[in-house]
Amino acid sequence: MFQLNLATIFYLVVATALWAGNAIAGRLLVGSVSPITLSAVRWGLAALILLPFGWRIFKRDSALWQNKIRFLLLGLFGVGSYNVLLYLALQTSTPINVTLIGASMPIWMLLIGAVFYKVQPTFLQLIGAVVSLIGVTVVLTRGEPATLFSMELVAGDLLIMLATILWATYSWMLSRPGQSTERQWPWADFLMAQVLVGLLWTLFFDSFEIAGGYAHLDLNVFTVSLILFVAVGPSLIAYRCWGLGVNGAGPTVAAFFANLIPLFTALLSAAMLREPPKLYHGLAFALIVTGILVSSTKSRAS
């Protein structure tokens, strides 16, 4: 049974806050590091940092080998493809488009749950999805929804849409089927298996970027600091917290927390520019939290 308690809320908020930092770091690194190479370096460092804690997955009797298909898919959907598609999308799409399309995640989470896992969405979850999406729209348009009519769709928008669908699939796989979930594995082994497989997928994708002559990496104190941040915070800590949060609240309710990412991104950007929070930030936060509360009401009883 899923429960939205304080510990679960903490895990999901920490994960979304760190991913907001990842979005800012990704934008700051555009031009300094090619997108797929950035993802490869990020997960390579994450694997090295995690290795002293999760080395047991290399043993012959590790449960990894008994669940290799599962981890091949988890690594592909959650670590490999999602991050590559996100960084590629940021090359051509606007931050508003990327985040707004990503805010459709609760809808995809409900659809995937209904089609593949026979979990039918409740009326309250549908209402919560709409309210939460309105909150994201408020923060992205700075309280002026009319600006949506001036948005133009580009190739990057299709990439982030695909990334969002893959992440929704990944989140369902973390808690369904019942075996091999986050809480039933040693945490380092479970995360190491995903990171290692995701790194292999990313290196495969990166080979095409290298072969095409598009790969580049400019190392200096600034870029190294940002890469270390994304390797530790948005990678290891955030993925660990998201896994615990999904297993606590369920994938559908967890998806609503993902809509805090654009709000946190906007607040972090404003802080970097030394701008105080605006009234629309408060309105957006209220709408997103309302969506979370409404959607989780039925889940507590299911």
Average pLDDT of the residues in 30-39: 90
Alpha carbon distance 174, 195 (integer Å)? 14
Asked if the model's pLDDT at residue 301 lies above 60, the reply is no
Predicted confidence at residue 218, as pLDDT, reads 93
| pLDDT band (50, 70, 90) for residue 217 | very high
Window from 4-8, 32-36, 99-103, 285-289 with minimum mean pLDDT: 99-103
Asked if the model's pLDDT at residue 300 lies above 50, the reply is no
> What letter represents residue 3's amino acid?
Q
Q: What is the DSSP string of 119-178?
A: -PPPHHHHHHHHHHHHHHHHHHTTT-GGGGGG----HHHHHHHHHHHHHHHHHHHHHSSS
Cα angle for residues 235, 49, 64 (degrees, 5° grid): 80
C-beta of residue 244 within 8 angstroms of C-beta of residue 185: no
Tokens of 153: 């769709």
pLDDT for 99-120, tens place per residue? Answer: 667 777 888 888 888 888 888 8
Predicted confidence at residue 49, as pLDDT, reads 95
pLDDT for 235-290, tens place per residue? Answer: 999 999 998 898 888 888 888 888 788 778 777 877 776 667 677 767 777 877 78
Predicted confidence at residue 113, as pLDDT, reads 85
Alpha carbon distance 7, 267 (integer Å)? 23
pLDDT for 140-150, tens place per residue? Answer: 666 676 766 66
Q: What is the DSSP string of the chain?
A: -----HHHHHHHHHHHHHHHHHHHHHHHTTTTB-HHHHHHHHHHHHHHHHHHHHGGGGSTT-TTGGGHHHHHHHIIIIIIIHHHHHHHHHHHS-HHHHHHHHTTHHHHHHHHHHHHS--PPPHHHHHHHHHHHHHHHHHHTTT-GGGGGG----HHHHHHHHHHHHHHHHHHHHHSSSTT-GGGS-HHHHHHHHHHHHHHHHHHHHHHHHHTT---B--SHHHHHHHHHHHIIIIIIHHHHHHHHHHHH-HHHHHHHTTHHHHHHHHHHHHHTT-PPPHHHHHHHHHHHHHHHHHHHHHTT-
Global confidence as pTM: 0.80
| pLDDT band (50, 70, 90) for residue 166 | very high
Asked if the model's pLDDT at residue 158 lies above 50, the reply is yes
C-beta of residue 33 within 8 angstroms of C-beta of residue 41: yes
Query: CB-hemisphere CA count at 13 Å for 284?
Result: 27
pLDDT for 10-27, tens place per residue? Answer: 999 999 999 888 878 887
Alpha carbon distance 156, 121 (integer Å)? 29
Average pLDDT of the residues in 215-237: 94
Asked if the model's pLDDT at residue 182 lies above 60, the reply is no
Asked if the model's pLDDT at residue 30 lies above 90, the reply is no
| pLDDT band (50, 70, 90) for residue 88 | confident
Window from 44-53, 55-64, 176-185, 259-268 with minimum mean pLDDT: 176-185
Predicted confidence at residue 106, as pLDDT, reads 81
Asked if the model's pLDDT at residue 79 lies above 50, the reply is yes
Alpha carbon distance 273, 244 (integer Å)? 33
Alpha carbon distance 136, 288 (integer Å)? 7
- Who contacts 52 (Cβ-Cβ below 8 Å, separation ≥6)? none
Mean pLDDT of the chain: 82
Average pLDDT of the residues in 73-99: 79
pLDDT for 55-71, tens place per residue? Answer: 988 888 887 787 888 88
Alpha carbon distance 146, 141 (integer Å)? 8
